[in-house]
Amino acid sequence: VQLQASGGGLVQAGGSLRLSCVASDLTFSNYVMGWFRLAPGKEREFVVMINWTGTSTYYADSVKGRFTITRDDTKNTVYLQMNSLRPEDTAIYYCAADRHLATMWNNDHYGMDYWGKGTLVTVSS
C-alpha cells in the first residue's frame, strides 16, 4: 500500500494550494482519509478527515472555513483545498488512511493503518 501526497509548495499569505493524495493497492472506499501536519518545534496535529462515503467531514478549529477536504473514489484520491493560507499553516502535510474514524480522530500515529510520506507547505508572510 502506498499513499503518495503532492501539491505542496511555497505560497504567500492569503494564497491557496491544493494537496492531493493518491492511494494504491487498497480498497479506497473502505478507508477514512485524513490529513495531519507537522510544523517545526510542534507536535503532529490533526487537520481534517473525511469518512468512507464522503458524506461527513471533520476539521480542526484552526482550519475551519479555510480548508476543504474531498475524495474521489474513482481515482483513489483525497484532496485538500487550502485557502487563505497563513504563515502558521507552514508544515509538512501527511495524508493517512484508516478503517476507523476513532483512530484518526485520536491522532493515533501507531494505530493508523497507513501514512503517506508528506508534502511541504510553506507560507510566507
Contact of 116 with 108, CB cutoff 8 Å? no
At position 91, the amino acid (one-letter code) is: A
Cell of 14: 492569503
Angle at 32 between CA 29 and CA 35, to 5 degrees: 125
Residue 33 DSSP SS3: strand
User: Each residue's pLDDT tens digit in the chain (125 positions)?
Assistant: 999 999 999 999 999 999 999 999 999 999 999 999 999 999 999 999 999 999 999 999 999 999 999 999 999 999 999 999 999 999 999 999 999 999 998 888 889 999 999 999 999 99
